[in-house]
């Protein structure tokens, strides 16, 4: 079984570690696949993939980003272009699919961070529109925000959504890479993609300690709440 960490954040976004440090940590943890998913910014994933190529890394890098929709965050994986932010959820998922990507719901239902809620996911399921329906849901996230509604998210998936279940560390610095992961048959990025499509993924990992939560939290929250939103507005609407 291969292991993938599908949600990492670099210092090009609100993370605290550069892309190469995330790759270093993934290699030490013997992960097979990682996805760098900075908020509304794809550059970190490109830099990580380039670093992996230069060094001949055994870790495959999936390009992507964490897109801010009007209903909450969504992971856009296997995309080569940025997905516009602040669009309706269904429209955003359809855009990810048109780019050849995979849409995964991170930290679902959580009230501790901007997350897609149960009503929004039920609405997608009721519309039965394959292009606008999500491919996976994160049911293993080691943070408090990711764990607070995890049991309800699992119930919702088993009884309503019936999509692939994933695990991700949501690491904002290198020390937390691979604290949660997604297991899949095979070892390549394409094997991972196939397993998500077949709903054959298995989430795994552990919870963070309080100390791990607090490590770098002030700097990370400053970047997340103040610096990065201003930077994204500048990149998209001013520059």
Rounded to the nearest 5°, which phi and psi values hold at 85?
Answer: -90, 165
Q: What is the dihedral of CA 93, 97, 102, 108, to 10 degrees?
A: 10
At 130-183, the pLDDT tens digits run 899 999 999 999 999 999 999 999 999 999 999 999 999 999 999 999 999 999
Give pLDDT, residue 225.
Answer: 67
SS3 of 41, please? coil
At 2-29, the pLDDT tens digits run 999 999 999 998 899 999 999 999 999 9
**Rounded distance between C-alpha atoms, residue 78 and residue 136, angstroms:** 13
Q: In what order do the strands lie in the sheet with 136-140?
A: 164-167, 136-140, 102-105, 72-77, 60-69, 33-36, 2-8, 180-184, 202-205
Nearest to 55 by CA among 78, 23, 32, 10: 23
pTM: 0.92
**Rounded distance between C-alpha atoms, residue 195 and residue 21, angstroms:** 27
Give pLDDT, residue 221.
Answer: 66
Please report which confidence band the pLDDT of residue 232 belongs to, taking 50, 70 and 90 as the band edges.
low
Give pLDDT, residue 12.
Answer: 92
CATH code, 2-238: 3.20.20.140
**Residue 224 CA: distances (Å) to CA of 84, 88, 128, 232:** 18, 21, 34, 11
What tokens were used for 9? 């954040």
């Amino acid at each position: 079984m291969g292991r993938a960490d599908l949600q990492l954040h670099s210092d090009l976004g609100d993370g605290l570690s550069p892309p190469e440090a995330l790759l270093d940590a993934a290699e030490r943890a013997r992960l097979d696949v990682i996805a760098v998913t900075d908020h509304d910014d794809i550059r970190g994933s490109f830099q990580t993939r380039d670093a992996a190529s230069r060094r001949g890394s055994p870790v495959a890098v999936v390009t992507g980003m964490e897109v801010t929709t009007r209903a909450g965050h969504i992971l856009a994986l296997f995309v080569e272009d940025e997905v516009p932010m602040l669009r309706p959820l269904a429209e955003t998922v359809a855009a990810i699919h048109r780019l050849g990507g995979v849409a995964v719901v991170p930290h679902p239902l959580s009230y501790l961070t901007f997350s897609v809620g149960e009503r929004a996911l039920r609405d997608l399921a009721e519309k039965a529109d394959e292009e606008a329906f999500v491919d996976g849901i994160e049911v293993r996230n080691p943070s408090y925000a990711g764990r607070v509604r995890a049991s309800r998210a699992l119930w919702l998936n088993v009884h309503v959504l019936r999509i692939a279940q994933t695990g991700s560390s949501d690491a904002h610095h290198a020390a937390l890479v691979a604290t949660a992961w997604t297991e899949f048959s095979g070892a390549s990025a394409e094997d991972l993609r196939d397993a998500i499509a077949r709903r054959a993924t298995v989430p795994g990992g552990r919870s963070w300690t309080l100390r791990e939560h607090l490590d770098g939290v002030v700097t990370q929250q400053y970047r997340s709440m103040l610096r990065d939103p201003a930077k994204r507005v500048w990149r998209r609407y001013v520059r």
